A and B are shown apart, each in its own frame.
Chain A
């Protein structure tokens, strides 16, 4: 494994070093002592590269990323997977706001809680299905403007009786699906959302993603699957069709 000590290195230099290592053909890279450096993995395309991050990476981790796998051994910050096209990010701690904005493909697995506006305008295209799974709780506007892909919220370790997701769930949603473990309070949802029971096909698909998630993060799949899920989908692919006249 190729090691880069990020201690005291400005993000621009660090990312240059990382890109150089990837261009040289390094496949397993360890970034040590990362402390808030932005844009790690930004625009990197090599699908067989695995980057392990020791420490807390800064905003825009894996922005525009197109293939690599990133493992964060700590918490992560905002804007992970901004407009990401392919690849995988696994965060062993909590993560911040606006994760997966405009994400078109790849996976983002967070073990802990996530912040506000997760998966905004996530979209699927052809065989690309972006997936975000958050293990803990989430803030407001979860899945806002969602156009495709899959968002999963597990609420593991949440206090009993407290909601695991904020208000305006799926507001403006016009594609994709959101799976929430446990009950969903209709009054917290955007008006564009319909709440359903997942069918067998849904559960098969969900289980396959959760299996990978649990393996990556050392969780017990059976424990996760113990509670039932709700499925949220848009009631219309054209939520604003009647807004205008000519």
Chain B
């Protein structure tokens, strides 16, 4: 009897003429695809996930990972994953799990939006010679400013400013917990955040002591499992975030299985080794906007009024929900779009629940403006930011800053293979196996992540220069600088964007 009727997705192949039997592929594969057969490398191709670790470490380029052409008959309606998941479900009775953001071909509106540029009638700006401001302050802004004159004739701000989170660039890193990613991966994020003057986010996994030197660039998260949360934790970072939902799995909780909770993860989460870390789907002390307000202010009372961010998944009714969140006292609202990433989510939830970030962002920004409360909170947009162009478009649609998760992991070697939930990541990112995590040298990879952030910042500055503005503030919510291509009238109306040519 065969193990599974689901044929392998990939065929790992080794050219035995080229292979020098160095066994590096065997050492490098976290999934044990390869083993030694005495005179050659044996391949168990059902285990291959095409993460390309072996390919990059083969010194003689003998490895090729092919998409399995014979896996199922090609069918436009019944895809490989549809048939494969049915077979796996028939064999196990379980829910298929997946990692990373949805890979289904839903329309990506960022790819249907184009930015403006200056020609003849208004001058563009060269960011290489002229100042170009990317600094961003997240937090409540007063609706008016009062200024008073001091006895020596100087002007002084009379209005008390609410607490602000200062970012040198309009970027943050998405919350990714220690447990879902390795401590080395968190260190890469923390080091890069410090160097770039931005923030990383602990996710719901507590704060490991090794990250304390970076605490001025860390936002700590409180979610339904309350893992690792105590007064020290709440006060450690520059802001606290209450996680209500995640774009990849709106409305459902998290189950970090016991076997993935070794000593260090258990210590950081403050739970016993080996028990499941279950994050209930709702926070049972939050059933309403009033309840949310209660938790926001409980945290503010415990932290002497640090900024509080509320992270939600973008769902159908996102605009009125955010209106409530802002009125509940949030300083920052983190919107995680439908295409947002995850370490583990049921396939059926990830691919079918929620709405994309573009629609949500436009709807939320509109609603808050209509209600005259847009200044009451800043918005972070997340869930599918792949480039600085996406970032610029998100900011033009109304975001104050954007968060990057998958993009940051890609700098660490991630190939978006989507198998984070197995805990076998050959790149040492989404695993706790020490022989794998040691591969991710924080200093080396922090350098790469810093490079990416710098490159995106330069690109943003070039975009702003072309738009003829000298500060990111001038692009914020400026939908006049966007045009839609190939979008229907209703979508354009939701986005508040004119079609190209108008």
Contacts and interface: CB of A to CB of B under 8 A. Distances in A.
**A and B interact:** yes
Interface stretch (B86-94, B124-132, B307-315, B369-377): B86-94
For A63, A64, A101, A246, the residue with the greatest tally of chain B CB atoms inside 10 Å of its CB is A64
Contacts of B278: 121, 145, 147, 172, 174, 240
A184 interface: no
Contacts of A238: 257-258, 275-276
Contact of B272 (A83, A124, A241, A242): A124
A66 B294 contact: no
Interface stretch (A36-44, A156-164, A194-202, A222-230): A36-44
Interface residues of B, number: 42
B231 A102 contact: no
Contacts, number: 129
B448 interface: no
B96 A82 contact: no
A237 interface: yes
Interface stretch (B52-60, B295-303, B393-401): B295-303
A246 B421 CA distance: 9
A239 B226 contact: no
B290 to A, nearest CB: 10
Given A15-B301, A42-B302, A120 B284 contact: yes
Interface in A209-246: 237-246
A60 B298 contact: yes
A12 B349 CA distance: 41
Interface in B265-319: 270-272, 274-276, 278, 280, 283-285, 294-295, 297-299, 301-303
- Chain A interface size range: 35 or more
Given A82-B285, A121-B280, A237 B258 contact: yes
A64 B258 contact: no
A62 B303 CA distance: 14
Contacts of B421: 246
A239 B255 CA distance: 10
B346 A244 contact: yes
Contacts of B164: none
Given A64-B234, A101-B284, A241 B302 contact: no
B225 interface: yes
A43 B302 contact: yes
A98 interface: yes
A85 interface: yes
Contact of A121 (B97, B226, B346): B226
B224 interface: yes
B455 interface: no
Contacts of A83: 222, 226, 229-230
B271 A145 contact: no
Contacts of B270: 104, 123, 125
Contacts of B234: 43, 64
A144 interface: yes
Interface of B: 88-89, 91-97, 222, 224-226, 229-231, 234, 255, 257-258, 270-272, 274-276, 278, 280, 283-285, 294-295, 297-299, 301-303, 346, 421-422
9 contacts: A43-B231, A63-B302, A79-B285, A79-B298, A174-B278, A237-B276, A244-B94, A244-B346, A245-B93
